[in-house]
């Protein structure tokens, strides 16, 4: 058995704390994030484990015109589903988000491949969020109604036959960083002989 040294343990504690301190953030400052940093985060993201190396992900970095179209679509979709008041509220909130990255996953494989591809994409998103968190950039992984709406696919020129939307990853500098907690670890661990 190789026992970690005191230095190793300290490094591991730091890494654990970095993972723990990433927080889903809803309110962002207007300040934009350096474009190169986002490209670096995407590059790191795709080092996720990926069975058969299918590389099922695609990262769509939205510019201001596309973001405005997404905000309008949010207004429309939420209004249709839940009424104009909430539609306007959501659209305003979304308009204030400085960075939009849409992650899609190929769905062309058979059922097991699709499941594993989605798992890889989820790992990729976590890589991306952790990388950005380390750089002081907050994120939110969102899967609101627009991400399943045909009009969203049209807007991004995506085919519903070929890809699914893993999520919109909103990013920016946090205005407020929420608190989070997790349940007692013991209820999630079983050790067998
Ligand atoms: C697949 C997935 C989809 C999510 N979709 C949403 C969403 O649509 N809206 C939202 O507020 N948060 C969404 N979240 C973020 C979770 O709500 C968040 O991770 C959870 O509250 C725990 O907070 P933490 O990320 O700060 O630990 C999503 C997270 C995942 C993994």
Ligand 1: centre distance to CA 8 (Å):
31
The CB density around residue 161, as the number of other CB atoms within 10 Å, is: 8
> How many of the other CB atoms lie within 10 Å of CB of 26?
17
Nearest CA to ligand 1 atom 23: 24
**Residue 133 near residue 126 (C-beta atoms within 8 A):** no
pLDDT grade for 2, boundaries at 50, 70 and 90: confident
- Ligand 1 atom closest to Cα of residue 143: 8
Express each pLDDT in 160-170 by its tens digit.
Answer: 999 999 999 99
Tell me if 23 CB under 6 Å of ligand 1. yes
Ligand 1 pocket, mutate which of 118, 133, 140 (most atoms under 8 A from CB)? 140
Distance CA 170, CA 159 (A): 22
Residue 185, pLDDT score: 97
Positive or negative torsion for Cα 72, 146, 118, 177? positive
For ligand 1, say whether the CB of 56 is within 6 Å of any of its atoms.
no
Q: Considering only CA atoms, which residue is closest to atom 19 of ligand 1?
A: 24
Confidence of residue 3 (pLDDT cuts 50, 70, 90): confident
pLDDT at 65 over 90: yes
Q: What is the pLDDT of residues 73-119, one digit of tens each?
A: 999 999 999 999 999 999 999 999 999 999 999 998 899 999 999 99
pLDDT at residue 108, as a whole number = 84
CB 187 within 8 A of CB 45: no
> Which residue from 172, 163, 138 is spatially nearest to 56, judged by alpha carbons?
163
* Cβ(141) – ligand 1 distance below 6 Å: yes
Q: Which atom of ligand 1 is nearest to the CA of 144?
A: 8
How many Å apart are CA 157 and CA 161, to the nearest integer?
A: 12
pLDDT of residue 4: 86
**Contact yes or no for 123/57 (Cβ under 8 A):** no
Q: Write the pLDDT tens digit of every residue in 140-158.
A: 999 999 999 999 999 999 9
Q: How many angstroms from the chain centroid is the CA of residue 110?
A: 24
Q: What CATH number matches the domain at 26-60+99-175, 3.60.20.30, 3.20.20.70, 1.10.3720.10, 3.40.109.10?
A: 3.40.109.10
Average pLDDT, integer, range 173-184: 95
For the chain, the domains span 26-60+99-175
Closest to 168 in 3D by CA, of 87, 88, 94, 75: 94
- Atom index in ligand 1 nearest the CA of residue 23 equals 26
């Amino acid at each position: 058995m190789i026992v970690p040294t005191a230095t190793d343990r300290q490094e591991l504690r730091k890494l654990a704390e970095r993972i723990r301190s990433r927080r889903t953030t809803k309110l962002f400052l207007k300040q934009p994030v350096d474009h190169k940093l986002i490209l670096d985060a995407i590059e790191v993201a795709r080092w996720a484990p990926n069975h058969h190396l299918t590389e099922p992900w695609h990262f769509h970095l939205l510019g201001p015109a596309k973001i405005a179209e997404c905000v309008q679509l949010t207004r429309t979709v939420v209004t249709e589903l839940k009424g104009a008041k909430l539609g306007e509220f959501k659209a305003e909130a979304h308009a204030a988000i400085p960075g939009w990255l849409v992650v899609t996953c190929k769905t062309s494989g058979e059922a097991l491949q699709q499941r594993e591809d989605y798992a890889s994409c989820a790992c990729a998103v976590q890589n991306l969020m952790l990388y950005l968190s380390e750089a002081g950039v907050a994120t939110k992984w969102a899967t609101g109604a627009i991400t399943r709406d045909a009009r969203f696919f049209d807007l991004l020129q995506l085919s519903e036959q070929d890809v699914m939307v893993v999520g919109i990853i909103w990013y920016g500098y946090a205005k407020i960083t929420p608190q989070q907690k997790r349940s007692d670890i013991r209820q999630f661990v079983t050790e067998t002989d």
